[in-house]
Amino acid sequence: MFGMNFFLSHLALLVFVGVFVAQAGVTYSVLQRDSLDPAHPWRKLRDIESQAMTGPLEALDEGADTSALRFYQLVSPALPRAE
């Protein structure tokens, strides 16, 4: 598993949009947390399925307006589903 940061992001109408280059055949999980202290662990925001072609892909967080500050991390392969 490896992590990477979004290389381009912006806040538009209180929705976070992170853009990254998705590699063909690779799955990803987008993680988020509201603070970098131990009391706020990384939580899975969403999974991104593998794509047929390498290219730019957007990851949205429509709940970004619920926190004054939010951090994001992109990891691959996608994390297992919580049961």
Residue 68 lies in a domain: yes
**CA gyration radius, the chain:** 13
**In the prediction, which pLDDT does 66 show?**
65
Residue 56 lies in a domain: yes
The domain that holds 55 is classified in CATH as 2.60.40
Note down the domain range covering 37: 2-76
Residue at 21: amino acid letter: V
- Percentage above 70 pLDDT, the chain: 75
Residue 81 lies in a domain: no
pLDDT in tens, 36-57: 899 989 999 889 999 999 998 8
More reliable by pLDDT, 26 or 18: 26
**In the prediction, which pLDDT does 7 show?**
40
- State phi, psi for 2 to the nearest 5 degrees: -135, 155
* Tally of domains within the chain: 1
- pLDDT band, very low/low/confident/very high, at 1 (cuts 50, 70, 90): very low
65: left (phi over 0), alpha (psi -120 to 50) or beta: alpha
Residue 50 lies in a domain: yes
Residue 83 lies in a domain: no
Contacts of 75 (CB under 8 A, 6+ apart): 1, 2, 3, 4, 28, 29, 31
**In the prediction, which pLDDT does 76 show?**
93
